[in-house]
Amino acid sequence: MKKRLLAAVLLLVAMLAACSSGPEYNVKVKNEIYFQQNEASPIEIKVTEDGKATRGLDVSANLTMANMDHGTTKVKFDETADAGTYIGEAKLPMSGKYEAVITLEKDGKKSEKVINFNVLKAQGVAKMNGEWITDEDVAFYKLINQLQLEMNREAAKKNYTGAQLEEQLAYLKSQEKIAEDKNNLLTQIIRLRSMAMLAKEKGHKAEPAEVEEAVSKARNQYNRYESAKALISEYDEDKFWATERQQYEMIVLSQKVQSDLVTKVKQENPSYGEQEVLFQAQKQYEELLVSQVNSLKIEIL
C-alpha cells in the first residue's frame, strides 16, 4: 500500500513538473555592465534555444547582489533588431557580483533562468575599442568650446556695436547649451579619435615638429584674448597645454587624411576649381568618418 502511494505521489510530481516547465533557454550577458552613480546601466542579453536565437519573448528579471543585501532591482527587457538580443536598464546600487532570476515567456509558456554576472566600476563615460573616454576628457572638450565662445564674444565686442553687437552676443549665448551638451562633446571626441586611428592605419604619423607648430599657433591665438588666458589659467595652464598637445597630435593625423582626400579629388577631377575640390573632399571625409566609426566598437554608458 505504502509503495503504491509513494509511486502515485512521484508520478503526480513528475506530471506537474512536465506541465509547468517551459522551453529550455540559454541566456548569456552580451556586454560588460558598468555601475554609474545615479544612472541606469544598460544590460544586454542573448537568448538561444538549441543554439538558435529566440525571438518574440517577453523577458523580465529580478536582480540581487550575491554577497550583500541591497534589495531587488526589477528589469524589463525589450527585444532588439538583433535576433535573440534583449536589452534593459537598471539603476544598480553599486558594482560587484549579481544574481539575476530571468523570466522568459512566449505563447503562454514560461521559463526561468538564473545567471550570475559582474558589474564593473566605470572608468569613464564611453569606450572606443576598449579605450576609455573619461569625465576629464569630456570636461576638457567643454573647456575648448568655452574658450572658442569667449574669444568670439571678445572679438564681437571689438568689431561690432549697437544692434549688430546685440545680435552677435545673443547668437553666442544660444550656443552655450550646445557647447556643453554631453552628447555633443562625446561626438566631438569620437570624431577626432576615429580619424586619428584611421590615419595611423593608413601609415601616417604626427611628427613632433608638426605637433609643436600646431600647438604654437593655438597658443598664439589664445594669448590674443584675455578671456581665453583667464580660463586656461583657472583650469591649470601646464595641465591644459599637456592635454592640448595630445589633442593636436590627433588633429595633425586627421588633417593628413583630409590632405589625402584633397589630392585624390584633384587627381580624379582636374577641371574642378578650389572650392569644388574642397567641397568634394569634405564630403568624402564625412563618408569615411561614418565608415570608420561603424567599424569601431563604441560603447556609450
Whether 8 is covered by a domain: the verdict is: no
Which domain covers residue 61, as residue numbers? 20-121
Q: Do 93 and 64 meet the contact criterion of CB atoms below 8 Å apart? A: no
> Do 262 and 287 have their domain in common?
yes
> Do 110 and 190 have their domain in common?
no
Please state, in angstroms and rounded to a whole number, the distance separating the CA atoms of residues 211 and 200.
15
Q: Could you give the angle at the alpha carbon of 86 between the alpha carbons of 85 and 88, nearest 5°? A: 150
Whether 292 is covered by a domain: the verdict is: yes
> Do 36 and 53 have their domain in common?
yes
> Do 157 and 33 have their domain in common?
no
> Do 255 and 296 have their domain in common?
yes
| The pLDDT value given to residue 64 | 94
> Do 77 and 172 have their domain in common?
no
- Model confidence over 127-159: pLDDT tens digits? 899 899 999 999 999 999 999 999 999 999 999
Whether 106 is covered by a domain: the verdict is: yes
| The pLDDT value given to residue 21 | 54
Whether 78 is covered by a domain: the verdict is: yes
Average pLDDT over residues 99-106: 93
> Do 38 and 70 have their domain in common?
yes
| The pLDDT value given to residue 23 | 74
Last residue within a domain, chosen from 80, 95, 121:
121
> Do 176 and 280 have their domain in common?
yes
Whether 258 is covered by a domain: the verdict is: yes
Last residue within a domain, chosen from 92, 121, 150:
121
| The pLDDT value given to residue 18 | 43
> Do 56 and 203 have their domain in common?
no
| The pLDDT value given to residue 45 | 94
Question: For residue 44, is pLDDT > 80?
Answer: yes
Whether 268 is covered by a domain: the verdict is: yes
| The pLDDT value given to residue 68 | 83
Last residue within a domain, chosen from 81, 97, 121:
121
Amino acid letter at 265? V
| The pLDDT value given to residue 125 | 87
CATH (domain of 56): 2.60.40.3340
> Do 108 and 170 have their domain in common?
no
| The pLDDT value given to residue 22 | 61
> Do 280 and 235 have their domain in common?
yes
| Reduced 3-state DSSP string for the chain | CHHHHHHHHHHHHHHHHHHHCCCCCEEEECCCEEECCCCCEEEEEEEEECCEECCCCEEEEEEEECCCCCCCEEEEEEECCCCCEEEEEECCCCCEEEEEEEEEEECCEEEEEEEEEEEEECCCCEEECCEEECHHHHHHHHHHHHHHHHHHHHHHHHHCCHHHHHHHHHHHHHCHHHHHCHHHHHHHHHHHHHHHHHHHHCCCCCCHHHHHHHHHHHHHHHHCCHHHHHHHHHHCHHHHHHHHHHHHHHHHHHHHHHHHHHHHHHHHCCCCCHHHHHHHHHHHHHHHHHHHHHHCCEEEC
| The pLDDT value given to residue 69 | 84
Structure confidence at residue 36 as a pLDDT band (50, 70, 90)? confident
Whether 2 is covered by a domain: the verdict is: no
Gyration radius from the chain CA atoms = 28
Question: For residue 9, is pLDDT > 60?
Answer: no
- Model confidence over 183-227: pLDDT tens digits? 999 999 999 999 999 999 999 999 999 999 999 999 999 999 999
| The pLDDT value given to residue 16 | 41
Average pLDDT over residues 157-170: 92
Whether 275 is covered by a domain: the verdict is: yes
> Do 140 and 205 have their domain in common?
yes
Domains of the chain: total: 2
